[in-house]
Structure 1
Amino acid sequence: MTTQPIETHAPAERADIAAFLASHLNGRTAEELSTEFHQLLDAVRAHGKKGQLVITVVVDPPANGVDSAPMPIGVESAVKAPKPTPVKSLYFLDHDGNPVREDPRQMSIEFRTAPATDTFKDA
């Protein structure tokens, strides 16, 4: 009885995503992503709120469905950096429902300017 050698196929080496991003567009993609990442870190530190950097790898099928045709691959990113909390001011609503700075229920007091003087008392 003769035995046939068993053919074994080594698993194909998979592309490393970090290496792909580093080399995509001759390194420009990695530079842009690094810049966006550091801007996000600065915004999170400055505002004390969480942020997000989303990296999307977009792969289009080969042209005309030809197996040997090149596959267009792009990298997109979106930064959701925290923003400062807007400053608020207090308002009252008048009888028509409009915002006003002074309380319409409060009695107003007329102010008058005190006379100016150039003389000072000695202590």
Structure 2
Amino acid sequence: MTTTDNKPDTEPADIAAFLAGHLNGRTAEELSGELHQLLDAVRAHGKKGQLVITFIVDPPANGVESAPLPIGIESAVKAPKPTPVKSLYFLDDEGNPVREDPRQLAMDFRTAPTTTEFKDI
């Protein structure tokens, strides 16, 4: 037994056209700006990043089949950040970070006297 579906084949909506028309183009402008910022950050820091676009579709109000569908678009940019600069520390006997090595003997330095007179040789 063969069944035939009488529904005509429909083409899915073009997502680029949908984004371009969503909120009269404001969504596409915002996404373009976020992508541009992401590309700049990736180029500047040499690390990967990502732009996540989420479509939120709510069911029709009150379950009415012919009611309109609320569709929202959210985005999240995860741009790379610069690597924080690190500094070296030693741990003292109490486990606290200190700049000078506590095992190193301290040397007493003094400032050499200065003069403005020069000797001819």
TM-score, scaled to structure 2 = 0.91
C-alpha spacing 1:7/1:73, structure 2 compared with 1 (3 Å): closer
Distance, in Å, in 2 between the alignment partners of 1:115 and 1:91 is: 33
Q: Aligned residues: percent identity?
A: 78
Which position in structure 1 is the counterpart of 2:47?
A: 49
Which position in structure 2 is the counterpart of 1:74?
A: 72
C-alpha spacing 1:75/1:98, structure 2 compared with 1 (3 Å): same
Distance, in Å, in 2 between the alignment partners of 1:113 and 1:83 is: 44
- Structure 1 residues 16-70: Cα deviation after superposition (integer angstroms, max 9, x where no partner): 1110001100000000000000100000000001110010111000111111111
SS in 1 for 2:113: coil
TM-score, scaled to structure 1 = 0.90
Distance, in Å, in 1 between the alignment partners of 2:116 and 2:5 is: 109
1:9 CA drift (Å): 4.4
CA RMSD of aligned residues (A): 1.6
Which position in structure 1 is the counterpart of 2:21?
A: 23
Distance, in Å, in 1 between the alignment partners of 2:70 and 2:96 is: 57
Distance, in Å, in 1 between the alignment partners of 2:16 and 2:7 is: 26
Distance, in Å, in 1 between the alignment partners of 2:67 and 2:6 is: 29
Q: Aligned to 2:92, which of 86, 91, 94?
A: 94
Runs of 4+ in 1 over 4 A off after TM superposition: 6-9
Distance, in Å, in 2 between the alignment partners of 1:98 and 1:7 is: 76
Q: Which runs of 5+ in 1 are unaligned?
A: 1-5
Q: Which runs of 5+ in 2 are unaligned?
A: none
